[in-house]
């Protein structure tokens, strides 16, 4: 009796486990947490519309996305930092960058008693993350926020512990506005942070900031919005303090929209323009230029085409800006490079 029951159970398990529906195309992807909310929404919506296509996206960070694409363990990757020439050289199959959305990295903070939006000057952000500005009532911060009573508490700095495109966007900005930062730390996905706690993924950083009083972290806009945690204004290249929003991000991308390089690799941090939000960025899907499996190739091309058209209508609902129309047109042409 026990034997037959066990046998039946085993057979049932095997049946359930091995049931791969025929015609299902399974794509595995990994990468950035910056766009993870919109990506997971897109893949979910796309799957509902095309039930035979399943895109499993694991948000493990831009660094991991690039690494796993290079190792060939995922079908495509996602990153907020474009691959450098060195990284591209390591790929066995050439990869194409496809911008998907425009997003903003915001300085979010959790200061007990302070619910106002703070202004952060370029020097303030660099100083906080360099560890030279250690208290919330430091003159560099208070002089930009005369109407806010800031406590004399120590600032708890939060950054990413994993290889992060969001880190790249933030440090790219800091490198452009602070020579000190540029020489001491530089820009990258895993910089040698002088101070701070490390959180895993945008959600890890958001989680730490949410739970740690007197903390400051940098996250993609949607994370701060959805958690209803305040985030500050950042001083842009024209000296104005801008709060991240769709208009500000699109303004930052205006220059790039006009002169987008063919490989779509561009940085729009600290962009010129009075209304531009200085810590904006594109984020890219890294798609191999060649797929052995024709069904995967079709699926990916189909998804990308959808993403450039209907997909964009979901961006603003999740506080990402739409791609500029010129960029969309260029990408549609680039789709043919995938074989």
Partner 1 sequence: MNRLRLIWRKSLNVVMLTLTGVAAFGVVAVLFLILGYFIWNGGTSLNLDFFLKLPRPEGEVGGGVANAIVGSLKLLFLAAIIGLPIGLLAGVYLAEFGGKTFSFVVRYTTDLLNGVPSIVIGMFAYSLAVVPVKHYSALAGGAALGLMVVPITVRATEEFLRAIPTSLREGAMALGASKWRTIATVVVPAASGGIITGMLLALARVAGETAPLIFTALGNQYWSPGWNQPISALPLVVYNYAISPYDDWHRQAWAAGLVLLTLVLLANIGCRFVINRRGVRSV
Partner 2 sequence: MSTATTPIDRAAPPESGPRALFHRLRHGDEVAHVVTLTFAALILLITTLLVFELWIRSAPTRGKFGFGFFWSGVWDPIGGNFGAIPFIYGTLVTSILALLIAVPLGLAAAIFLAELAPRKMSDTIAFLIDLLAAVPSVIYGLLGIFVVVPLMRTTIGPALKKTLGFLPLFQGPNYGVGFLTASIVLTIMVVPFIISVSREVLLTVPREQREAALGLGATRWEATWKVVVPWARTGIMGSVFLALARALGETMAVTMVIGNDPKIRESLFAPGYTIAAVIANEFNEATSDLHRSALIELGLVLFLITFILNGLARLLIVATERGGGHS
Shortest Å, Cβ 98 to partner 1: 20
Please tell me the count of residues contacting partner 1 according to CB under 8 A: 41
Hey, what are 317's tokens? 């609902």
Given 147, 183, 192, 313, the residue binding partner 2 (CB under 8 A)? 192
Torsion sign, CA atoms 167, 172, 176, 180: positive
Our finding on whether 21 is near partner 1 (CB under 8 A) is: yes
Strand partners, 27: 55
Shortest Å, Cβ 23 to partner 2: 31
In the block, residue with structure tokens 């990153």: 79
Given 151, 188, 255, 302, the residue binding partner 2 (CB under 8 A)? 188
Q: Which is nearer to partner 1, 115 or 211 (CB)?
A: 211
Our finding on whether 137 is near partner 1 (CB under 8 A) is: no
What residues numbered 155-174 form the site for partner 1, per CB under 8 A?
none
Shortest Å, Cβ 327 to partner 1: 24
Q: Which stretch binds partner 1 (CB under 8 A): 25-33, 138-146, 246-254, 255-263?
A: 25-33
Shortest Å, Cβ 196 to partner 1: 16
The binding track of 141-160 with respect to partner 2, each residue x by CB under 8 A or -, is -------------x-x----
Q: Which is nearer to partner 1, 236 or 319 (CB)?
A: 319
Q: Which is nearer to partner 1, 175 or 215 (CB)?
A: 215
d(CA 108, CA 110): 7
What residues numbered 50-79 form the site for partner 1, per CB under 8 A?
54, 56-60, 71-74
Torsion sign, CA atoms 268, 225, 159, 149: positive
Shortest Å, Cβ 44 to partner 1: 5
Our finding on whether 91 is near partner 1 (CB under 8 A) is: no
The answer to whether residues 244 and 221 touch, using CB atoms and an 8 Å cutoff, is yes
Q: Which is nearer to partner 2, 190 or 275 (CB)?
A: 190
Given 76, 168, 223, 231, the residue binding partner 1 (CB under 8 A)? 223
Given 207, 273, 278, 288, the residue binding partner 1 (CB under 8 A)? 207
d(CA 81, CA 165): 5
Our finding on whether 113 is near partner 2 (CB under 8 A) is: no
Task: Name the site residues for partner 1 (rule: CB under 8 A).
Answer: 13, 16-21, 24, 26, 28, 30, 36-37, 40-41, 43-44, 47, 54, 56-60, 71-74, 199-201, 203-204, 206-207, 210, 222-223, 226-227, 318
Task: Name the site residues for partner 2 (rule: CB under 8 A).
Answer: 30, 60-61, 63-68, 70, 87, 90, 154, 156, 161-163, 186, 188-193, 195-200, 208, 211-215
């Amino acid at each position: 009796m026990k034997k037959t029951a066990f046998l039946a159970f085993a057979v049932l398990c095997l049946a359930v486990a091995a049931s791969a529906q025929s015609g299902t195309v399974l794509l595995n992807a990994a990468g950035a947490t910056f766009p993870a909310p919109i990506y997971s929404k897109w893949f979910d919506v796309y799957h509902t519309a095309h039930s035979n296509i399943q895109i499993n996206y694991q948000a493990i960070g831009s660094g991991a996305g690039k690494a796993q694409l290079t190792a060939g363990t995922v079908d495509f990757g996602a990153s907020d930092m474009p691959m450098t020439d060195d990284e591209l050289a390591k790929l066995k199959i050439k990869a194409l960058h496809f911008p998907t959305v425009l997003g903003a990295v915001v300085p979010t903070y959790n200061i007990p008693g302070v619910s106002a939006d703070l202004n952060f000057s370029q020097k303030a952000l660099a100083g906080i993350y360099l560890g030279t500005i250690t208290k919330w009532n430091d003159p560099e911060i208070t002089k930009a926020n005369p109407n806010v009573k800031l406590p004399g508490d120590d600032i708890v700095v939060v950054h990413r512990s994993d290889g992060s495109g969001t880190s790249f966007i933030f440090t790219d900005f800091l490198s452009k506005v602070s020579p000190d930062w540029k020489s001491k730390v530089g820009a990258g996905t895993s910089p040698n942070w002088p101070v701070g706690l490390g959180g895993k993924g945008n959600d890890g950083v958001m989680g730490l900031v949410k739970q740690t009083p007197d903390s400051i972290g940098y996250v993609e806009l949607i994370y701060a919005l959805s958690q209803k945690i305040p985030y500050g204004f950042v001083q842009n290249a024209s000296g104005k303090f801008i709060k991240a929003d769709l208009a500000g991000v699109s303004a930052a991308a205006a220059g790039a929209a006009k002169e987008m390089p063919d490989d779509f690799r561009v940085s729009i941090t600290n962009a010129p323009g009075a209304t531009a939000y200085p810590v904006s960025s594109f984020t890219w899907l890294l798609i191999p230029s060649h797929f052995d499996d024709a069904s995967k190739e079709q699926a990916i091309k189909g998804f990308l085409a959808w993403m450039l058209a209907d997909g964009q209508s979901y961006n603003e609902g999740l506080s990402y800006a739409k791609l500029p129309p010129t960029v969309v047109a260029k990408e549609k042409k680039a789709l043919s490079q995938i074989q």
